[in-house]
Structure 1
């Protein structure tokens, strides 16, 4: 098993909290600018880390097994999520409700137009396949391989966007402005420079970060400022980690190790938490609701992953012996 990097687990822990919290529709309504800022960097950080950690130095059968650990949960949970959105409509997420859902619709969305948070898994699957095929089987310089890989995934992203088969809903993710962050992670890996050297811990990163975040025009991952925001937030968080104490680092590292399980299970609980939102109307800021709903969704997701391992469902849902760490 690949040795874990504590700093990366810490970053993943911070980002998975933000992913869960800002999938709450109530926060989107109450704090649209903050939501835009967080969406600029939270999943891009995950994509950079995923590109950096993807190990292509495996035999085809072993790499195929690692891909199945993404493909199977993507198919299962994206399908379940689509059925829930269709059955309960706006009750779960008004921005993603699906009026009609046929087997053809399910197949098309699974292949190209996922709805909700699971687009991240689709990006990992498609980029992972292209990455392995290009770098494992072709005989050319790494620079040429990287350019070829970038061209292929750009062509796929362009085709998905240009030849829109079904309406692209919020959350549909195989777009260039997302994919480029995975490619950035791959580029860092190819450089041979350790992750923490590429992103040096620095309080100074906070200054340009605040400047960039001050303009709504910068709050989009597809812009150059959006790219810099993502890079700067990594540098600043790696600096801030030294001030949160051992327990804080341990907790965030634990969440980071289990971030895949939280990412997969949490959309189901985030959607369900909307039904208890009326009980928090006493707090106009919606902060109490956000804290409780985020805590509930993360704990419930961790519980599901633990039970999945104990009941030996993980081998069917994730093609692995364990998902809880």
Structure 2
């Protein structure tokens, strides 16, 4: 805080009072019941005692989340006392659940590490792998479900991977699968211990090029889907009546430890590429519900397709440059 000191006037002995800074209030979100009826539970668990009932369109305030973010603690609008817990999937809401405070961290704990509210969290936009290290080649510990909200303990230097706590298990998740809180850059960077010297095998250029070509084919096919969707949503925005024939959702590009060993650049390229896959599926999703769509949803779907197309195009450019480098090295070794 910057303080400006004024000259003291001898006759003025009135004490100066410094205002206390206001304490930040916990985030509270608004929601409505999206199903015909549901029970409110005393604790965030299906086997917990039912302490009340809610009905479709009942309006609520959401005041907290449980240790994996799949349950919300709620109260009625304008009321001071809390009702209890409901599954988040039964509510309609337009806030970011990762902003909610963690208000129950005991029920559902399965691992050895207590879950604490670090002030930073990520929301799973898709089912995501939890790995033991911040690399796509890391060991798969378990899969975290869509909609989970987990506290963040650390990040890597580029904020491409986040260390999280899922029900007591510590692991790493790729940014491609999650949406982090806006202040995520304030999370401490994980300091990797000294890397031991490893006798790494030399991978033949032919093997590297085969991995590269496999990835390129997937990137080109994904680009074509994104391009078609961008054009489709443009026509819809212009008022054209288009057939409701949604393409299947696109799977993320999967690589294993051996793939990364053969082409290490996959560790850098694939997470960003899979962000494009999530955007692509965001553009496909509205097509699964045929009917009249509002303009905002059409705009969002088209923007998702365009942004996915940009990512896929950039990936192809990276692969072209990498291919040129591999071929240059191969030619040099042949001389």
* TM-score tier (shorter): under 0.3
Superposition TM-score, scaled by structure 1 size: 0.24
Instruction: Work out which of the two has the higher radius of gyration on C-alpha atoms and give 1 or 2.
Output: 2
Q: Which has the higher contact order (CA 8 A, sep 6+)?
A: 1
Q: Identify, as 1 or 2, the structure richer in strand.
A: 2
Superposition TM-score, scaled by structure 2 size: 0.24
